[in-house]
Structure 1
Amino acid sequence: MVKNALQAQLLKAGLVDNKKAKKLTKQAQHEQRTGQNDDAEIKAKIDQAKQEKLAKDQALNQEKQNLLEEKALKASIIQMIKQHKIKETDGDVAYQFIDENKIKKVYLSQQVYNALVSGSLVIAKDQESYACLPKALAERIDQKMQGFILVNNNAENNDQTTDEEDPYAAYVIPDDLMW
């Protein structure tokens, strides 16, 4: 009648009666058949795993969304540069500037060169080439995303700090000096 040794020992000791032992045996068999063992713990673990997966998926989706927004912003800036660049810039005057730690040289007309040196035009990166843009557009582009404007000769930025003991402090080197 009693199926395991523990129940037999409990019956002999008088701690459990026959009726109670049968009830416990039937309850154990029922739990085995229906799979109700630690059901609450399993459900809690499943819910926790779902919550973790949901949080991970949301983080990945947010990252993808940020990448897409950045890509769209770059595309719109490139389109703005292509639409508003000054087309007639070719000339005989060489202008040198730094792009990605390399000195680059472009040949410009004298009028474009003078506007670039005075600060009314700027040089922007146009994918593989360079474009001259009006200063107002360049400021809007720079507010949206850094890295497209390479040369911006502001009159405010040309103020250099000098040392009081420098013997050549009175001699100002012009920005458009040609060697």
Structure 2
Amino acid sequence: MASLQDQFLKAGLVDKNKAKKLHQDKTQQKKVERRTGSESVDEARLAALEVQRKNAERARELNAQRDAAAAQKAVFAQIVQMVQTNRQSKGVGDIAYYYTHGTKIDKIYVSAEVQKHLIAGRLVIVCLDGKTELIPRVIADKIAERDESLVVRVKKASTEVDEDDPYAAFQIPDDFTW
């Protein structure tokens, strides 16, 4: 294999005199370095090393982002699989069950038995890809470990009465529907 200098000469990019002059300058510089004991700084080499370091750093960042995206996708796949294998029937009913998901109030129609399970906390609502599914609380806890935003928690009514509440004497019945 020919050297780079020979390739440039053959391509006509450099003439023979210029190549000879560069070779002489290089050997003279090496001779001076040996005599003085100091090394000259090769700026092109340093620039190339800097570019190589930056490229390696950028490649590491891209790999970290790619790995994070793959891990997130794998977690979502686990959640989807848990929901599909453990979803419960909503029952054939016309009872509207209202719940809040984030800032939105939504409702699903369930049977009376399913409503009792939801109120008791045995069943939990999971919102996944715009669909609502009912799953057991144990599975919902596992999903919440992976992504809390998908699980709708039903807050139990507090039995404590505020001292300043003017409506404390008026109790709301349990079977109250909106």
- One fold, TM greater than 0.5? yes
* Local SS of the residue matching 2:55: helix
Is 1:167 paired with 2:161?
no
Structure 2 residue runs of 5 or longer lacking an equivalent are 1-19, 31-39
Q: Which residue in the other structure is 1:44 paired with?
A: 46
Q: Distance in 1 between matches of 2:107 and 2:130?
A: 14
Alignment counterpart, residue 31 of structure 1, candidates 9, 25, 30: 25
Aligned residues with identical type, % of pairs: 27
Corresponding residue of 1:76: 78
CA-to-aligned-CA distance 1:1-38 (integer Å, 9 cap, x gap)? xxxxxxxxxxxxxxxxxxxxxxxxx987722799x9x7
Task: Detail structure 1 runs of 4+ shifted over 6 Å in the superposition.
Answer: 26-29
**Is 1:129 aligned to 2:123, yes or no?**
no
TM-score (norm 1): 0.70
Letter in 2 for 1:43: R
> Any unmatched runs of 5+ in structure 1?
1-25
Deviation at 1:73, TM superposition (A): 0.5
Of 86-95 and 133-142, more deviation after overlay is shown by 86-95
TM-score (norm 2): 0.71
What SS does the aligned partner of 1:147 have? helix
Q: How much has 1:55 moved relative to structure 2?
A: 0.5
Could you tell me how far 1:129 is from its partner in structure 2? 1.5
Provide closer, same or farther for how the CA distance between residues 79 and 163 of structure 1 changes in structure 2, counting only shifts above 3 A: same
* Alpha-carbon shift at residue 174 of structure 1 (Å): 5.8
Query: What is the SS of the residue equivalent to 2:42?
Result: helix
Task: Name the SS for the 2:45 alignment partner.
Answer: helix
- Supply the AA of the counterpart residue of 2:25: E
